[in-house]
Amino acid sequence: MIAGVTRKNYLFRFHEGSIKKEQIVDFLKALKTHLKQPLLIIRDGLRAHKSKLVREYLDSTNGYIQIAFLPPYAPDLNPVEYLWAWLKRHALANFCPNNLAELQTIARNKLKSAQRRPSIIMACWKQVELW
């Protein structure tokens, strides 16, 4: 799963397996299209984030998308990590799916319903003390 958190909302996509550089570029394009404003992307140290393909795409945006890297081993500074924690510990607590498709369906529904709860989104920012 890949996600981006804004002050008021978040966007996400499910992918089977590890996130690859092509999926990162596709997600960045979707963010740019959906949000229609300059973006500051805060990234962790995932190797795919630093790939040539991703760098070339970012360069092609002429500064429309700016990048900031988190320090190594600092998930506590990443608001998306708190969204994942909420999903695992609250929305999907004690849920035992029969297969990956069922897990994705339920997780997608829980994340979509949480988009209508601003308190969850604000909690992600408050946890990292950035808002």
Q: How confident is the model at residue 41 (pLDDT cuts 50, 70, 90)?
A: confident
Tens digit of each residue's pLDDT (9 = 90 or more) over 10-35: 888 888 888 899 999 999 999 999 88
Which SS3 state, helix, strand or coil, does residue 68 take? strand
Tens digit of each residue's pLDDT (9 = 90 or more) over 64-120: 999 888 888 888 888 888 998 999 999 999 999 999 999 999 999 999 998 888 888
Percent with pLDDT over 90 in the chain: 42
Q: How many domains does the chain have?
A: 1
Dihedral, CA of residue 45, residue 130, residue 41 and residue 50, to nearest 10: -10
- In this structure, how many other beta carbons lie within 10 angstroms of the beta carbon of residue 115? 14
Which SS3 state, helix, strand or coil, does residue 5 take? strand
CATH number for the domain including 41?
A: 3.30.420.10
Domain span at residue 111 reads 2-127
Q: What is the DSSP letter of 19?
A: -
